[in-house]
Amino acid sequence: MKYTYPPSEYMQQLLEYNALEKLVFTPTDSKAHIIATLEQRSAKKRVIADIANTIIREYVETFEKEPDILRAEDVEALESFADILIPDGGRPGKLVTDFGIYYRISKLLTDYYRKQEDWDRYAFALNRCTLGFDLLINAHAFKNQASPYFDDSLALSRQLDSDKLHGRARSKVLLTLTRVAYGGVSQFSAAKLREVNSVLLSHMEQPPTEYEEKILLSFHVSLLDYFSDYCIYARDCGLAIDLPSIRPFLMGICGGLRERLEQDRLLGMDSGQLRLNLLTCDFFLGNLTLEAMLDGLSTMQEEVWHQPSPLAQAFGLAGINSIFLTVLYKFSPLPKDEICRICRKRIQEVIPKMIAVSQMANNVYFNRFIVMFLHAASLTGSFDEFAEIILETTVYADKPLFVHTAMVREMSLAIFDYMVAATPEAFDGVAGKNMTYILQHSVKMRQLLSDCCMYHDVGKFFMLDIVGNSMRHLTEDEFRLIKEHPGHFEHIFQTVGEQDERVKCIHDCALTHHLWHDGTAGYPLIPQTKNRPFADILAIADSIDASTDFLGRPYNSGKTIDQLITEFQAQSGTKYGPEAVAALSAPSVRDRLQYLINDGRREIYYQIYAFNRLPELEKGF
């Protein structure tokens, strides 16, 4: 096939796009300068998107539709493309790359080599597939999912005793097998882990190469983490753990890891992570008391504070305290008030570092640690105690997300202000309040809607690199991940069921703002709640911002407010709430929205990019 661009051009465009995303302004920059620069950025993004989508269409989509037309030279081009995105042996966390396209190319190559029965190259391609799955799916999910490649990997490992696999392909099979051994915690299987361990030990060279040693070491360290996660899951679900069955296996692995730690034979692995996993596993195996385990975590925290890198400090503090807070809360016999007091003291000590680094780092790896920390911390207090912390570490840490949130808030309040005066009955039942209460306390209800807007997209913090990608069209896998973001609110703040009606309203709006008004489509497909009227407003505001953001979303349709109102009216009562749609035709609402999508948007971008603060816009309507 004749290609318009070489694969290297995609990486060049990716680097340019990434540089555009890192624009930094200061309070001394003028509004005119900031807006002009953002407009130029948007124009450059459109050019990049055209090139990127041409490359993907020619190299990937063509062969996804017709895999049988792949020729040898096309396969070599795809191999080159994959190597450019993630070089063999490269560390994805240190690269500017594209996980979604890497995964799609890997699947094409895997299918091709399987059909060709080229087992050596199939081993390399399958390894890439499992890596792509982990980087795209598991890195952006709240809990790891079972790999769809376990059976294929195990079947390929059985070829290690034949003459079908040679050289480095054999090591790639072992690496692949370790990567697929971990399913979701609900699918924990000691037998499967023993089987993988047996395959590794029986097919390594004697003595093992350093590469093989690294594979085994990484597998064992991750296995301890997997076991600890399963123990917490079992505690939550009231499941009994068959410790007599798994204890000898894990004790042997722990012994080998301790020996490596003592002899400083970690082959580049982080000793802190290994010590943390050993400590946690010892507790769940019954080798340590709760008090000894918590003391060990406190000692590790003191060591982390002396790390020279702020990012390393934040990673360590988030990981250690996620475990400390979770284990103390779930396993301690202390009174709940005392547990919460201890936990809050820990949170107050480390949260300033979390906030500072979250606004500096903002990548998929660190964001996941932040979410796990918030998830654990939320066990120990009310939503109000953590509300600002959640915003500081998520929404405020990502300027595009902050801008979108602020725009949705302003548009939603414009709609509410009209509705509460013209059709207050539409809000009857929201947050458990009747119409009389709503009329008498409209300011409180307005503030509640504002809060719903501020938290409606916190679930996107799991996947900022995906939702913020305007360089190319989303893949099917990425769109499936994005559809999970409404449910992530309760993963960040996990005690919603114990909170008051206000918090449940905020939760319901986050969960249902992409669900159609009539419940027949959208996501997630769940029953509507009494808080649907607020979610209806949010859904419209969310859609308007996505369709009109000329500064942040170069792919938007550029529709006018009147065109959008016509579209909303056509779907009133089905996709959108009829009362909220009707409000759009009111002159005061229509004029306010017109201001917001133009001059108001410029002001919001300016205030957030220059000062990182939520702006107070002029009223005047």
Whether a cis peptide bond, with omega within 30° of 0, leads into 587 is no
CA dihedral 187, 191, 192, 198 (to 10 degrees): 160
Is pLDDT above 70 for 619? Answer: no
Contacts of 173 by beta carbon, 8 Å cutoff, 6+ apart:
123, 127, 153, 156, 157, 159, 160, 165, 203
Task: Judge whether 185 and 230 are in contact, CB under 8 Å.
Answer: yes
pLDDT of residue 199: 94
Full set of structural domains in the chain with CATH: 1-180 (no CATH), 395-611 (1.10.3210.10)
pTM of the model: 0.92
Task: Judge whether 511 and 54 are in contact, CB under 8 Å.
Answer: no
Task: Judge whether 54 and 4 are in contact, CB under 8 Å.
Answer: yes
515 three-state secondary structure:
strand
Percent of the chain at pLDDT > 90 equals: 75
Provide the residue count of the chain: 621
Enter the tokens of residue 337.
């008030």
Q: What is the mean pLDDT of residues 239-250?
A: 94
Q: Considering only CA atoms, which of 260, 263, 287 is closest in space to residue 274?
A: 260
Enter the tokens of residue 144.
């790891």
Q: What is the mean pLDDT of residues 588-594?
A: 97
pLDDT of residue 368: 78
Is pLDDT above 80 for 525? Answer: yes
pLDDT of residue 552: 85
Enter the tokens of residue 504.
């449940």
Residue 522: DSSP 8-state: B
pLDDT of residue 377: 87
Q: What is the mean pLDDT of residues 302-318?
A: 90
Task: Judge whether 548 and 556 are in contact, CB under 8 Å.
Answer: yes
Helices 310-331, 290-304: inter-axial angle, 10-degree rounding: 170
Average pLDDT score over the chain: 92
Enter the tokens of residue 262.
């003592």
User: How many whole angstroms separate alpha carbon 330 and alpha carbon 122?
Assistant: 45
Is pLDDT above 50 for 54? Answer: yes
Q: Which secondary structure element, helix H or strand E, spans residue 245, and what is its range?
A: helix 243-263
